[in-house]
Amino acid sequence: MDTITKLEKDEYGKNVDIKLYRSMIVSLLYLIDSWPNIMFSVYLCAIFQPRPKESHLIVIKHITKYLKGTIGMGLWYSKSNNFQ
Low-confidence ranges of the chain (pLDDT < 50): none
The pLDDT of residue 76 is 72
Query: Within a domain: residue 83?
Result: no
The pLDDT of residue 80 is 74
Q: What is the count of structural domains for the chain?
A: 1
What pTM was estimated for this model as a whole?
A: 0.75
Helix, strand, or coil here: 75? Answer: coil
Query: Within a domain: residue 4?
Result: no
Query: Within a domain: residue 54?
Result: yes
Question: Alpha-carbon distance 52 to 55, whole Å?
Answer: 8
What domain range is 28 assigned to?
18-69
